Structures are given as structure tokens and as C-alpha cells.
Amino acid sequence: MITTKEKEGKTNGNPVNHNMTESLKFNEFRQEVLSDYKLAFLSRQMSLIARREVLTGKAKFGIFGDGKEIAQIAMAKQFKEGDWRSGYYRDQTFMLATGMITPEKFFAMLYGETRTHLNPDNGGRSMNNHFGTRLIDDNGNWINQTQSKNTTSDISPTAGQMPRLVGLALASKLYRNQPELSHLSQFSNHGNEVAFGTIGDASTSQGLFFETINAAAVLQIPMAVSVWDDGYGISVPVNLQTVKANISKALKGFEKRNNDPNGILIYEGFGWDYAGLCQMYEEGIRQCRKNHIPVLFHVKELTQPTGHSTSGSHERYKTNERLEWEKEKDALTQMRKWLIDTNLADEETLKSIEKEALTEAQTAQKKVFKEFMEPFRQERKQLIEMVQQKSCVCHPEGEAQINGIIDKLNKAITLNRKEILSAARKILRHTCVSCQAQGGLKEQLKKWIADYFESGREKYNRYLYDESHHSPLLTQPVAPEYADEAPMVPGREIIRDNFDALFAKDPRILTLGEDTGKLGDVNRTLEGLQEKYGEWRVRDTGIHEATIVGQGIGLALRGLRPITEIQYFDYILYALHIISDDVATTHYRTKGGQKVPLIVRTRGHRLEGIWHSGSPLSMVINSVRGIHVCVPRDMTRAAGMYNTLLDGEDPALVIEPLNGYRIREKKPANLGEYKIPLGVPEVLKEGTDVTVVTYGSCVRIARDAARQLESTGISVELIDVQTLLPFDKERVILNSLKKTNRIVFFDEDVPGGATAFMMQKVIEEQGGFNHLSNRPVTVTAKDHRPAYGTDGDYFSNPNAEDLYEAIYNLMGEDFPDKFPPIY
């Protein structure tokens, strides 16, 4: 490094020739600088070539890191094996400099290559420059993170990468300070890892950025954030984005000084100042790594030569003066000038370096594009040959249509699988019935299309959940066991004692949230556990739901088993974007290369008022596919679900019923051991007339209604779905419907919410429509959030009388004499 102090001494027992040593060191320094310039120039050429590939139609979209090259090289010099990056789509030069990508992988991402050995970062699931090292091997096992440089999988939402950064850095603090974690050596080298974050200056306007900086400043963790400041957020200038038009000035109140117990260190540098940036990053990261102090690097006067992305031109919103300034302040231009002014290189040397870098970029692009297109050409050829080799002759009109489709496919300018499969399906329409014979074209085409869809499933659809032996869906159920004189205890004690058993046997498990620690959460389900297991395993946090979940993401990626608590289900909204955009998509968007075994714990249904009574399940289940959603009816079931989830490595959301903490349940003897299977409903009461499907707190209400209906002679079969994602894997509900031929879906969500989801699953997907003797019915809450108080709840949420009357009326449609109208 250019700022490293030279050491004196002897070599091989001989006196050192200081002049020769100085000369060797200068030559090494010069070579390093020239190598850095070549890398920066290579990255710039990759951006320019990739942009042309998009604009000429060879690639779909492009977003690049041009203008940020020098600063990212300086940062990369401090990035070591075991370190982590949580960044965004401008970081291609950093990724190149650290060796986490190559030019070939860069172009493979640009084209959307689906083969993970060619595009390991996202397997074609995300846009270009959405990076992510593979943390999981082909068997679903974690790799040794201390022997690799690691980056979390990028997401597009601005500042969305920030919350997880807190957890990545917090893990280092825990690994350094918690001796019971020392055996997890594949995840940390004594906590010496730094979590590097990157963000565009405009994105620092997001609340997620401030939540993250605040949390890190309080926690004092090794987190290093680089802000790339090029003066704009697409077209909006910095003076309309940030107070004082300067994020480091805006954060002065966060700055750590002298004896401050917490805070952050703030450094400022210029994006074109190679030497200054190298020195700044060396000093800042040394402090961060050694002392676990969070650091912010504000890198100013950066440029964006090709604009925000391929979707528009920055000439539309930048003045001519600004554009001229950007040409002058371009980091490559400035570094090139510095190299000549300091006699580190002459014009001829630099031209040779630039030519070599350009050739490398061009060669990589041509190689990758050829490699990318070859499977398409082979698949097109296979389809066309199959059609052309048919033994039968179709009807003239059909034959003409088929020939036209083949001709169009042969001439396709942008050949892709959509064109190929679309052509095959259209050809099938025009294939004569006579080709249906065994071995005929119609039969061959049907099989080819089915195989092509299956091949596409692997490329584009699979890996929403863990498919390895770590899947919690493979966990064998274990029933709760009860002693002869098992006590009846409040439900909260079952949850508490189950957590106690889990914490005792696995030091990786920890929990954090608002009032989680000292208070033992607001419902005392963790009472006494902080005193027993320490404040870092049962921890209080500030009121910042997004970074509570973010901490869980980072900790889970680094080998721990966090349970993050959102105090009430209604407040999940403040973290839903992180759960939806990040947690739920991680395994899918990396094509099985990363996973987040995080449990988000909350409580909901029926308490008091709008923000403590909600059941917005449809909002959740339709935005968190990729996460298991558990809706236990009581605390025995909830505890068993935690046991199951911790046996696997998928993320999950568990919504405990608020009214279950005080209701007494028989206490199981095998706490921490029994396991409730996911996706398997439980038939709580057998019946013959109507099937009622519900979950959570509604189970108790449904039981009440079913008892009332018995006096009328109506026999209800009551089913608790237990989990909404997954939903009824074993078709328990369908089997009930085959017996009763009538069905009612019941919950506290809004009309058309989770009841509509359940209805679609049973009636359409499972084929329940064929077994109905009457219309399916839903009983839900009103369109609005629940009103306050007992009466507000009664008039807002469904009650036993609502369900009673819905079932009674349904039976009355078939037997009007036996069940005459109530009203």
C-alpha cells in the first residue's frame, strides 16, 4: 500500500542495501498503481461496451458503475477474506478489484445467463450488477466464510441494502465477545471482519439509511459505509435531496468525538484523488476493524459518464457547464493526469495499458455472448428439425401456418426462450389431429413443450424455498407429550419455557426487539431469559422495525439463528419492505446460492383498536412468498412451530394470537423437542354437514359457533390450517369437503383477503369445486380496521354469531324446511 511505512531490517542475514530496497519498493508501488489504473480503465470499458449491448438490443437493461472506479479500488485494498459487502448496483469496480467477479461474469449477468457456473451471482434472476457470492454449496451447506470474500445479494430498492448491514457487522461483535460462539470458526475469525456498505448519495435521503446509521452508532459495530456522491439522484440534484446538500455535514451529530461512548467516524474524500482515497480508507478501516467503531466515508465529486442507466440520458437534465465539469473531474482523467505529472507513467505506457484493457473487455464480451446464445441456437435447431422431420402432411392451411412460424423463428433478431417456446405452442395449434398417433408430431410436440417448461422451471421458477435436506418441510413431526398430572398454565409460560429449552441447547439462537430483553417482551414470554442468557442473546433494541429485521438478516447470513421480534402484527408494515424485498427473495434471487434462516416473531388478532388488533394476512402472504407464514391458534402450537423452524434453514413469520398468552393450556413435558409440521392442517372437530376452515384466534370463535350449531342438528367439521404458507400440502381440507360437500372460510382479514386465498387453494387448485353441493362461503372482518373497545371489536371483527348464521343460512339453502330463515 502506498501509505504503509517502510520497515528496516536485514534479509537472509545480510545487510540490507537501502537504495536497492527503496528501488524495489518504488517499483512495486509503481506497478500497483499502474495495475489499478488498468483495472479502472477495464471497468470503464466494460460499462461502455455493456451500454452499447443494451442499446443495440442484445441485452435487456443496463446499470453500471462508471465514474466510481478509483474510489472503489481504494476501498477494495482494505477488503479481506472473511469481510462482507452489502452494496448496490454501482459497485462493479469494487467487485472486480476484490476478485469477486470477472469481466466474463459481468457480461453473463448483463445478458441474464441462467447457468450458475457462468453467472453465480444471481443465475439470471436479477438485473445486471446485482451481485451476490454463493454462500451455500450444491447440498445446501454453508461454505467457510472466513476463506472467501463475501457479498450479500443485491436488491434494487434504494437503501434496501442498509438494514442487513447492521446485522453483518453485529455478528463480528458477537463472535469477538461471546466465547460460546468460538466453535463457529467457519463463520468468523474472532470477530475481525468488517461489513462494508455502499450507497448512492441520493439514497441517503431514505429513512432506512438513517435507521442504519443510528443503530450502528449505538451498537458500536465494525460497519464501514461508503457514500458515492455524484451530485444527483437520477435527475434530482443533491440540494433537493439532503439538508445542507452534504450528507457528512448532515450527520455531524452522529460523529464520535473524544470520550463519546458511541457514534461514528466520518471521513471525506474526493472521487478523483487516488492517493488521498487510499490513505483515507486505510486509516478508516483500521479503526473500524480494530476498535469496532462504525465509519462513514463520504466520497464527493464523483461523476456518472453514461448517466443513471440505459433507460435515459443524463444530458436531458444536466447543464452544459455541469457536463463539462464532469469531463474534467472524471476519475480516470484525473488519475491519468496524476500518473504523468508524478512521472509514474508516460503517454506511451498508458496508451499500451488502455489498449490491453480494452482488448480484455472486448474479448470477454464476445466470448460470453457466444456462450450465452449457443443454447438458444441448439434449442431452436432441435425444435425446427423435429417439425421438419414429421412423416405426415398437415392440412394445407395448417402447413402454411407452421411454415410461417418456423420462418419467423429462423429470422428472429433477438432469439430467446420466449420466442422458441411461443413458436412451439403455436405450431401445436396447427398440427392436425392425425399427428396425434403414436410417434406423430403432435405427440412429440406435446412432450417437447412439457420438457421445455420443466427445464424453464429450474432456470426461472425454482428455489423459492430451501430444497435441500435443511428444509423444515422435511422435519418429522413430534407430538407434544404430557405427564399424567400435567399442569394447566398460561400460554405465555409454554412459549417462555420452550424458548428456555431452545436457548439452553443451541448457543446460535438469540432474540432481539423492542422490550424483548429486560422486560421479557410486553407479554412476558421471555421473562427471566435475559438474566439467564445475557443481554446479547436476549436483547433490547430501539424502535426501528426495519433494522431490527435487518439485524436478523445479517446475523442469519453469518451462521447464527436470530429470532427478531416485531411487537405487534400491525407494525410489521414498518419492516414489510425489508421482509418482502430482501428476506423473502434471497434464496430465489440467488438461485439457491444464499439463504436467510431468520424467524420474524410477532403477535396479532383481537386486542384493542386499529393498531393492536389487526390481521392483515392477505397483505403479508401476497408479499412474502419465500417465507413460511405460521398462524398458530395457541402457544403450544406456536412453540412447536418454532422447534420445527429452527430444525430447518428457511425464513419464517410466526404470528402468535394475542389472546392466547393468558389462556391456560396443558403444559407439554417435551418442551423444545416436539415439532408441529408446516403445511399440515389439523382437524379439531369431525362433522358431516359443513367444513369450516380457519386459523389463529378465530379457532376459538369457530369452536363456540360449532357448539351452538349442534343444538340445531348441524354437524361442523372444524379445521385449523396452522400455516398459510405452505397451505395444506396433504389436502386435508379437500378430503373433508368430499365428505361434507359444503365449506366456509373464516378469518379476521378484510373481505377478499386470506379467505379468498384459502378458497382459491381449495376450490380451484385442489379441485374442491367438483365436490360442492352449494356455493362456498367466506366470513370475514369488515372492510376497515377494527374499532376500539369490546363493542368496536364486535362490530368490526367476525364473531360466533356471524359464523353461526352463515353456516345456518348455507344449510337452509339445501334444507329450507329444516332451517328456516332466522331474519
Outline where DSSP puts E strands in 549-689.
561-565, 599-604, 628-630, 652-657, 664-666, 682-685
In order of 17, 614, 698, 781, 797, the CA distances from 802 in angstroms are 94, 19, 12, 10, 9
Residues in the chain: 823
Give every CB contact of residue 485 below 8 A, 6+ residues apart in sequence: none
Phi-psi region of 626 (alpha: psi -120 to 50; beta: other; left: phi over 0): left
The answer to whether residues 603 and 612 touch, using CB atoms and an 8 Å cutoff, is no
Q: How far apart are the first and last CA of the chain?
A: 86
611 φ, ψ (degrees, to nearest 5): -100, 15
d(CA 659, CA 676): 20
d(CA 722, CA 382): 47
What pairing do the DSSP bridges indicate for beta strands 599-604 and 652-657?
Answer: parallel
- Partners of 603 in the beta sheet? 656
Give the angle 43-47-52 at the CA atoms, nearest 5°: 145
The answer to whether residues 63 and 308 touch, using CB atoms and an 8 Å cutoff, is yes
| Residue with the three cell numbers 330463515 | 821
Give every CB contact of residue 748 below 8 A, 6+ residues apart in sequence: 605, 606, 615, 696, 697, 698, 780, 781, 797, 798
- Three-class DSSP category at 428: helix
Give the angle 391-393-395 at the CA atoms, nearest 5°: 155
Neighbours of 149 (CB within 10 A): 18
Which candidate, 150, 273, 165, places its Cα nearest to that of 578?
Answer: 165
Give every CB contact of residue 326 below 8 A, 6+ residues apart in sequence: 67, 303, 304, 305, 318
Task: Write down the number of H helices and E strands in the chain.
Answer: 26, 22
d(CA 796, CA 804): 17
Give every CB contact of residue 208 below 8 A, 6+ residues apart in sequence: 159, 160, 162, 163, 546, 547, 578
Outline where DSSP puts E strands in 670-742.
682-685, 690-694, 716-720, 723-725
d(CA 748, CA 699): 11
Largest distance between two CA atoms of the chain: 113
Give every CB contact of residue 795 below 8 A, 6+ residues apart in sequence: 782, 787
In order of 481, 630, 801, the CA distances from 639 in angstroms are 13, 11, 31
Which candidate, 289, 281, 263, places its Cα nearest to that of 191?
Answer: 289
Neighbours of 313 (CB within 10 A): 11
- Give the residue numbers annotated as catalytic, written as ranges: 612
- Partners of 195 in the beta sheet? 84, 223
Whether omega before 103 lies within 30 degrees of 0, making that bond cis, reads no
708 φ, ψ (degrees, to nearest 5): -65, -35
Angle between helices 441-456 and 417-429 (to 10 degrees): 150
